[in-house]
Amino acid sequence: MSVYDGRIREWVSRIFTDVSSKKVIHGLYFGISEIVDGYEMRCTGSKRFSRTDEDWPCIVDFVPTVAPLLFDNSTSPRAHWTEVLASLKHELLQAFNSQKSSVASHIAYAALGFDDGSLVTIYDVTRENVR
């Protein structure tokens, strides 16, 4: 069982519901921030994206009504940021794969990353599956 207990899949599903009401959101960015008691992940959307320009998430055209997810350290010690990134990537890939029809009809690209780091592609409509 995931350390996130399915919260990410439910959260992403609610984001896709929000995205489906918009006409032109091509890229989703899942940003991770370190907070005092753990980590926070939020989502924003953009009408444009670029596989070569990592600043595309800075152009925010969409903010879902879904609140950011908080992962606190109350139940386990603080994980290293590389472990957090790997775990969240895995969970987001599972969420995207479980909702392929919703994803493919509304967005072309999604990326994950810490706000001060590089982006990791989690979905690209031009590829069958990103790992």
pLDDT of residue 98: 80
Whole-structure pTM value: 0.85
Q: Which residues of 38-55 are buried (b: 16+ CB within 10 A; e: fewer)?
A: bbbbbbbbbeebeeeeee
1 confidence band (pLDDT: 50, 70, 90) = very low
